[in-house]
Amino acid sequence: MVVILLGPPGVGKGTQAVRLIDSIGGGEHISTGDLLREACRDGTDLGLEAQEFMHKGELVPDSLILNLIRDHLTTTASETSIILDGFPRTIPQAEGLDSVLSDVAREVSQVVLFEAPEDELIKRLSGRRSCTDCGAVFNVHFEPPRIEDECGRCGGLLVHRADDQPDTVRNRLQVYESQTAPLIEHYESHSAPLKRVSAMQPINDVQLAFRAALEIG
């Protein structure tokens, strides 16, 4: 399978992808952010090229991201199922991804859209607190730390990151609506079937609905 996850920030795509991969004991959860960090850390040609843009505060071009995905897939066994999380984000990226997948004799087999109301997403994202030491994330609404501003895992300081401030969260959701939401219609009008999963359920029920969408028992 080649599965694309769609849905706004805070809807839980990454969490559900990791749970699925862990439960089926195979497959790969691919985040383009992780691919970028790995390429930069390893000092590959693509990583060095990406760093030039990042050091200038510029977005890494779509073509470079697509080349990272292509390189990664050429070293991934053809029978390995992959879940793409956070990419594509625009219709041009989706079209570029189709070309990359064709180059490695693959195609999108399923698109899953996770849905939740905007007020719920703002609550989830603005309630997050991140540990400055170990990176653990808590939520003052759903998973509050036992001691305020202290990480329950390592004792580090918990902070409210700038990109989790309510105004920033609203802006991120607006960007999603303008740039990424059009992918819903794009995939609905193409051959890859699109399934919808409500993220307004307990986390285990969301996972069951996700598995049902992918027809995994």
CATH of residue 77's domain is 3.40.50.300
Q: Is 92 exposed, middle or buried (0-12, 13-18, 19+ CB in 10 A)?
A: exposed
Domain count, the chain: 1
pLDDT in tens, 37-48: 899 999 999 999
pLDDT at 57 > cutoff 80: no
- Residue 167 belongs to a domain: no
Question: Between 118-126 and 166-175, two packed helices, what is the crossing angle to 10 degrees?
Answer: 130
Tell me which residue has tokens 């990454």.
14
- Looking up tokens 């653990």 gives 136
Q: Please report the pLDDT score of residue 217 as a whole number.
A: 67
Digit-coded pLDDT (tens) for 170-204 = 999 999 999 999 999 999 987 667 999 999 999 99
Please report whether residue 45 resides in a domain. Answer: yes
Query: Taking every pair of C-alpha atoms in the chain, what is the biggest distance, in angstroms?
Result: 52
The pLDDT-based confidence of 6 (bands split at 50, 70, 90) is: very high
Q: Is 30 left (phi over 0), alpha (psi -120 to 50) or beta?
A: beta
On whether residue 209 sits in a domain, the answer given is yes
What tokens does 214 get? Answer: 């992918």
Judge whether 65 and 87 are in contact, CB under 8 Å: yes
Q: Which residues are catalytic?
A: 13, 89, 128, 161, 172
For tokens 């990406």, what's the residue? 50
pTM recorded for the entire structure: 0.86
Lookup: tokens for 166: 């309510």
- Sheet containing 2-6: order of strands: 28-31, 82-85, 2-6, 110-115, 194-198
**Is 133 part of any domain?**
no
Q: How confident is the model at residue 34 (pLDDT cuts 50, 70, 90)?
A: confident
The answer as to whether 128 is a domain residue is no
Domain that holds residue 101: 2-116+179-213
Expressed in angstroms, the distance from the first to the final Cα of the chain is 15
Looking at residue 37, its pLDDT comes to: 87
